A and B are shown apart, each in its own frame.
Chain A
Amino acid sequence: DGGITQSPKYLFRKEGQNVTLSCEQNLNHDAMYWYRQDPGQGLRLIYYSQIVNDFQKGDIAEGYSVSREKKESFPLTVTSAQKNPTAFYLCASSIRGQDSPLHFGNGTRLTVT
């Protein structure tokens, strides 16, 4: 059964610590994305990757880093430089090219105190 797996579902960290969110897909999609959702707001793009070993900053990349060493995996690191890290993080993937819907994982709720 193809899909996108994000783990863990809930994550708690102390301020000042880096944390890495996992995203794995078995849809054979080339493109992968990370979005952030805050209450009452739409999803905002953090980073995206069109192919292995290549990724680009989205609209709110500051304080985040990613890697794309394998087609199936696109982990997101929330660094201590991110000023407001508490949020719901969503990973997505799509067929590379125009007019391709994004398919989302079930998200990771990160709480930093």
Chain B
Amino acid sequence: DQQVKQNSPSLSVQEGRISILNCDYTNSMFDYFLWYKKYPAEGPTFLISISSIKDKNEDGRFTVFLNKSAKHLSLHIVPSQPGDSAVYFCAASYWEGAQKLVFGQGTRLTINP
């Protein structure tokens, strides 16, 4: 049962344009959402997060949007740069005596010059 889904395994975007990565979740108990960026053979790097009490959080070129009614979040990267090429994981968190994170399968983003 995949509670967090990233339905696009890959995405290709031209440099300078906007990249939009999507993530859907099923569990209403999730109350904190995160995006991570990962290069091959390295650990994920935390990018940006959003609490369920907000619908938008922005940090430089990265913006995360949360639509609780649709159980959907998205990451916008604008403008996209070649260094943004990586695998992006969304994660959803809930509290059960400890913070538990559930990860999506990842989306491979390729930025073309």
**Footprint of B on A, CB under 8 Å?**
4, 6, 9, 31, 35, 40-45, 48, 50, 56, 88, 90, 92, 94, 97-107, 109
Contact = CB atoms under 8 A, between A and B. Distances in A.
Given A31-B99, A98-B95, A99-B51, A104 B45 contact: yes
A100 B104 CA distance: 18
Interface residues of B, number: 28
A23 to B, nearest CB: 11
B41 A109 contact: yes
Contacts of B95: 98
Nearest to A6: B43
Given A42-B106, A43-B103, A102-B101, A90 B46 contact: no
A100 B99 contact: yes
Contact of B105 (A9, A41, A50, A107): A41
Chain B interface secondary structure, helix, strand, loop or mixed? strand
A41 B9 CA distance: 10
Interface of B: 4, 9, 31-32, 34, 36, 41-46, 49, 51, 89, 91, 93, 95, 97-106
Contact of A106 (B43, B46, B49): B43
A99 B106 CA distance: 21
A43 B43 CA distance: 11
A23 B100 CA distance: 19
Contacts of B99: 31, 94, 97-100
A103 B49 CA distance: 13
Contacts of A9: 41
